[in-house]
Chains A and B, each alone.
Chain A
Amino acid sequence: MALTLKQQLSSPGGILKFLVKYNTIFIFILLVIFSALISDVFFTSVNLSNLLKQVSGIGIISIGMLIVILTGGIDLSVGSMVALLAVTFAILINIFIAPVAILLTIAIGFGLGSISGYLVAYQKMAPFVATLALMTIARGMGFIYSKGSPVTFTTVGGQFMSDFANNSTLGIPNIAIVFFLIVIMAMVMLRYNVFGRLIIAIGSNEEASRLSGIKVNKYKFLVYAISGALAATAAIIVASRTNLGSPNMGMAWELDAIAAVVIGGASLNGGRGTAINTLMGVLILGLIGNILNLLNVPSYPQQVVKGAIIIFAVLLQRFESK
């Protein structure tokens, strides 16, 4: 039943239901308040912009992960793809002018993602297996092309990219702006475009989609290719920030991306999830890391807290679906 906000809140247990329904945003706000109370440094522009810079790369691949998960799949290759594509971009920027290097890198990302997409959609391979293989291949190729050590930017184009990645516009880091633009694009595509509607339909009932005359294979193929292109975008950003492409980049990022999507309330069975909630998931994960850093908590306990937050968020969603 659709009720107005007022009705929802005044019904028995209404406030609780409301909080559960919007739990991702609620947890995010709580964390912001908690962080602000506990640390003086938190609400400084330096800290906030650092936070945004830190999450942008993982944020972008999380959006790719979201659209794959919406179809009921998973993409384990994105972390390794970031490494391979960062190396690729570093090599390309030293040869071509920046726009060409960017476009080529994104095209290569799209191509690599297409391999997973082909294996899943047309060869009916389990997404977990296909992308696991791609993950290993991409990581290995990253090391091969870089000969095991980071490739540094040496050209004017590289300098330009590095400046762009480390500067801000109107107080917002440029790379965060790129991330937010991608989130907005995803929101629009998922809500108002046929592409988004169909991948959600496929994820919620693949057989019904097939029998509705939807080109199921084509869309399953496309989501992996797009995830690859987004991994390339993330790779360009992280490489530009540090002025180099290293085969060690993006280590285990696929897991953080999955965590962000899941905290954002998406179902791993497909068919449920939104871009805005994934953004919240990304920010929540980033915030936890940030506040624990400010509190000087060492990195191992940080991982424990992260895990606990994932469990908590998913239990809340279980409560919601009841």
Chain B
Amino acid sequence: MKNSEYEYRLEMTGISKSFGVVSVLKNVNLKVKKGEIHALLGENGAGKSTLIKILSGVHQKDSGSVVLDGTEITPKNTHQGQILGINVVYQELSLVNDLSVAENIYLHKLGANKTWMNWKGLIQDAQELLDSLGFKIDASVKVKQLSIVQKQVVEIAKAISEDTKVLVLDEPTTVFDPNDIQKLFKILFKLKAQGVSIIYISHHLDEVFTIADAVTVLRDGVDTGSMPIAETDKDGVIRLMIGRELKDLYPKRDVKIGDVPVFEVKNLTAKDTMVHNVSFNVKPGEVLGIAGLGGSGRTETAKLIFGADKKKSGTLILEGEEIKTNSPVDAAGYQIGFVSEDRKEEGVFLPLSIRRNISVTSFDSISSKLGFINIEHEYKKVLNLIEKLNIKTPNSEVDVKNLSGGNQQKVALAKWLSIDSKVIFIDEPTRGVDVGAKIEIYNLINEVAKKGVGVVVISSDMPEIMGISDRILVMHEGTLYGELKKEQFSEENILRYSIGEPLKAI
């Protein structure tokens, strides 16, 4: 084969990518040898996914070059990427639930060049492939009947059913138990022996050090280091992943935190999500941070408390009295607020005006018994909030879809700030928000805390959560793994707890 002429099978050099004004990747290099398992590491938002999406053809790079087996490639979409031999198993599964396992595995080939399908052969091929992976899955059943682990396996089978040169696995083991992980590793070693290059994205450093040959670390869109795995250790990698300076972005808060918790959660376990045995409390005037990796159950915990997801067991105590929140209606009735991380889908009403967005939660205070709204009162209230939150808009009648991300976020916050909350959960308060608006949002959070509200902030942004919290809880695999007091705040400590490692002894 010609491949051996080149030292690297895949060479990504000087890759840069911006979305609008946000620069996501800056001059990133990634070089992977033939038959190598290469770990790609970095915090949430470091740019790993974007880099992979450029490789597979989902996104187009702004500059730089991608060379595969000595030839420069520029896949325009994932189909072209697959033809070139690049296959990606994403975190979000991309299977068609109503088709069989076999059909899913060969989805890209269904109907190619043939008038009639050979269903028997298709199922047979798929079954052989699955058996060779060492998992017991029936290729003829529909995907929706599979467990999430089995779906992940089918996803991997689908990726390797083609002539794969580069296989990318994005957090493949989040749903696996140790036994399954071992099976997966066996598959990977087999592929490696066949000469497939594997890019492995994971937050589990243990796994990385078990299987990877080399590692590349990204931080804030820049590659901070690339080396053979033998030349580094966990601490070395963690150092490369963090190491930003805390900027003076976080306004000081001068609030006396109450002694008696305003809100308490005891042994909360979800019915449908991984959240289990969560216990914590928040005091009046306190800003409590919840950190953890994506998928660790932070958002699910907040939604569970808010009544948006179903509970299996656990107790909620508000101001000393036990409460039940079986729906968001109940939660809102108890003056518990929740600002979703998914602003566009769950936070604001994009086609409606700012006024109509903000009023939605506060009709009780601006309408008569029969539900007639005192429009004058409404305008006053809304304009007041627009001014206070510094929402940049010519007037209150502008549709929210026409606002910038930061201003949309302020509208989402205003909805809950316009009523008196006792506890408010804010999930990713500043995701996709520019720096100026960030500071305004932090000021807002401080103001809310000052009123004696218990504020719970969920954030993947480490400097942010350290900058605004009085205390940080870290989640790992569906439960609280550890608590950090202010003097213990460091990215390293948060990261260690997030990946289930103990803190380093001082």
Q: Quick one: CB contact mask for B393-407 with A, threshold 8 Å, 1 for yes?
A: 011011000000000
Whether, in the assembled complex, B14 has its beta carbon less than 8 Å from a beta carbon of chain A, the answer is no
- Taking a contact as CB atoms under 8 Å apart, the answer to whether B308 and A211 are in contact is yes
- Taking a contact as CB atoms under 8 Å apart, the answer to whether A197 and B349 are in contact is no
Cα distance A197–B378 in the bound complex, in angstroms? 13
B420 to chain A, nearest CB (A): 14
Cα distance A205–B400 in the bound complex, in angstroms? 13
Cα distance A209–B338 in the bound complex, in angstroms? 12
Residue of A nearest to B335 (CB): A213
- Taking a contact as CB atoms under 8 Å apart, the answer to whether B360 and A211 are in contact is no
CB-defined contacts of B345 to chain A, threshold 8 Å:
205, 207-208
B interface residues, tally (CB under 8 Å):
33
Pick from B329, B363, B398, B415: contact of A197, CB under 8 Å = B363
Cα distance A7–B338 in the bound complex, in angstroms? 40
A115 to chain B, nearest CB (A): 23
- Taking a contact as CB atoms under 8 Å apart, the answer to whether A200 and B397 are in contact is no
Q: Quick one: CB contact mask for B332-359 with A, threshold 8 Å, 1 for yes?
A: 1100001010000111111110001001
Whether, in the assembled complex, A169 has its beta carbon less than 8 Å from a beta carbon of chain B, the answer is no
- Taking a contact as CB atoms under 8 Å apart, the answer to whether B372 and A209 are in contact is no
- Taking a contact as CB atoms under 8 Å apart, the answer to whether B373 and A192 are in contact is yes
- Taking a contact as CB atoms under 8 Å apart, the answer to whether B332 and A213 are in contact is yes
A104 to chain B, nearest CB (A): 25
- Taking a contact as CB atoms under 8 Å apart, the answer to whether B350 and A204 are in contact is yes
- Taking a contact as CB atoms under 8 Å apart, the answer to whether B394 and A201 are in contact is no
Supposing A1-B394, A271-B349 touch, asked if A210 and B308 sit within 8 A by C-beta, the answer is: yes
A interface residues, tally (CB under 8 Å):
23
Q: Quick one: CB contact mask for A1-45 with B, threshold 8 Å, 1 for yes?
A: 110000000000000000000000000000000000000000000
CB-defined contacts of B348 to chain A, threshold 8 Å:
205, 208
Cα distance A2–B354 in the bound complex, in angstroms? 13
Residue of B nearest to A194 (CB): B371
CB-defined contacts of A194 to chain B, threshold 8 Å:
363, 367, 371-373
CB-defined contacts of A147 to chain B, threshold 8 Å:
none
- Taking a contact as CB atoms under 8 Å apart, the answer to whether B340 and A204 are in contact is no
Pick from A192, A200, A205, A214: contact of B372, CB under 8 Å = A192
- Taking a contact as CB atoms under 8 Å apart, the answer to whether A197 and B373 are in contact is yes
CB-defined contacts of A205 to chain B, threshold 8 Å:
345-346, 348-350
Residue of B nearest to A205 (CB): B349
- Taking a contact as CB atoms under 8 Å apart, the answer to whether A213 and B333 are in contact is yes
Whether, in the assembled complex, A122 has its beta carbon less than 8 Å from a beta carbon of chain B, the answer is no
Pick from B306, B371, B375: contact of A211, CB under 8 Å = B306
- Taking a contact as CB atoms under 8 Å apart, the answer to whether A197 and B394 are in contact is no
CB-defined contacts of A195 to chain B, threshold 8 Å:
371
Cα distance A207–B348 in the bound complex, in angstroms? 10
- Taking a contact as CB atoms under 8 Å apart, the answer to whether B360 and A1 are in contact is no
Cα distance A197–B346 in the bound complex, in angstroms? 18
- Taking a contact as CB atoms under 8 Å apart, the answer to whether A213 and B329 are in contact is yes
Whether, in the assembled complex, B331 has its beta carbon less than 8 Å from a beta carbon of chain A, the answer is yes
B79 to chain A, nearest CB (A): 30
- Taking a contact as CB atoms under 8 Å apart, the answer to whether A2 and B338 are in contact is no
CB-defined contacts of B500 to chain A, threshold 8 Å:
none
- Taking a contact as CB atoms under 8 Å apart, the answer to whether B367 and A212 are in contact is no
B334 to chain A, nearest CB (A): 10
Q: Quick one: CB contact mask for A172-215 with B, threshold 8 Å, 1 for yes?
A: 00000000000000000000111101101100110111111111
CB-defined contacts of B363 to chain A, threshold 8 Å:
194, 197-198
Supposing A192-B372, A197-B363, A213-B331 touch, asked if A207 and B346 sit within 8 A by C-beta, the answer is: yes
B318 to chain A, nearest CB (A): 15
Supposing A193-B372, A212-B415 touch, asked if A204 and B346 sit within 8 A by C-beta, the answer is: no
Whether, in the assembled complex, B328 has its beta carbon less than 8 Å from a beta carbon of chain A, the answer is yes
B71 to chain A, nearest CB (A): 42
Q: Quick one: CB contact mask for B367-402 with A, threshold 8 Å, 1 for yes?
A: 100111101000000000000000000110110000
Cα distance A198–B361 in the bound complex, in angstroms? 10
Given contacts A192-B372, A193-B371, A204-B349, 11 further A-B contacts (CB under 8 A): A192-B375, A194-B367, A195-B371, A198-B363, A201-B360, A208-B340, A208-B347, A211-B347, A212-B415, A213-B331, A272-B351
